[in-house]
Amino acid sequence: MSNKTIKNIKERRSVRKYIDKNISGEILEEIIDCARLAPTGNNRQAWSFLVITDAEIKSKIASYARYGKFIEEAGACIAIFVNQNKATTPLQDASAATENIMIAAKSYDLGTCWINSYQKEHSKKIKDLVNCPQDMELMTLMSIGYYQEEDVNMPSKKNLSEVMVWDKF
């Protein structure tokens, strides 16, 4: 496979175990730069990308997120907030940016995992913790960090022929 983007998309898998290695600020900035270029409904871009590298804050978030305990070990945690009064398609916008982050991260040999956080039990606690402005809503939360290949699960995927349909059902 020679196309690097295609390779990254095909080889990305959720990573839930990380090694103790910092991610440079330059790399995190480049990844968020990819996020902010994602498409948004009516080009509203009514979002903020919160990058958390502080160990104490990460640890607190990990303790709140039942299915995201591994955030504590990750080099960083990224939270996407959208102003639902300004965005026309908030969840879709955040999801598009999330995928951009995951693919950009993969190209830096960084693993990610999406942690379901839209209107979940832990969402309000996280919003309070990070002083989230009143008009913003937490849409997605991600862990991001360096990892070892052998620690990655490879969940089975449906075959192309099972999911691809030409012209009509």
When binding is defined by CB under 6 A, the residue of 49, 51, 103, 114 that contacts ligand FMN is: 114
Q: Between 131 and 164, whose beta carbon lies closer to ligand FMN?
A: 164
Q: Between 158 and 168, whose beta carbon lies closer to ligand FMN?
A: 158
Confirm or reject binding of residue 74 to ligand FMN (CB under 6 A): no
Among the listed ranges 40-48, 84-92, 112-120, 126-134, the one in contact with ligand FMN (CB under 6 A) is 112-120
When binding is defined by CB under 6 A, the residue of 155, 162, 165, 168 that contacts ligand FMN is: 155
| Burial (CB count <10 Å: 0-12, 13-18, 19+), residue 128 | exposed
Residues of 104-118 as b/e, b for ≥16 C-beta within 10 angstroms? Answer: bbbeeebbbbbbebb
Phi/psi-derived region of residue 111, left when phi > 0, alpha when psi is between -120 and 50, beta in every other case? beta
Confirm or reject binding of residue 58 to ligand FMN (CB under 6 A): no
Among the listed ranges 11-19, 84-92, 122-130, 161-169, the one in contact with ligand FMN (CB under 6 A) is 11-19
Output the smallest distance, CB 105 to ligand FMN, in A: 12
When binding is defined by CB under 6 A, the residue of 115, 136, 142, 144 that contacts ligand FMN is: 115
Residue ranges binding ligand FMN (CB under 6 A):
13-14, 16, 67-68, 113-116, 155
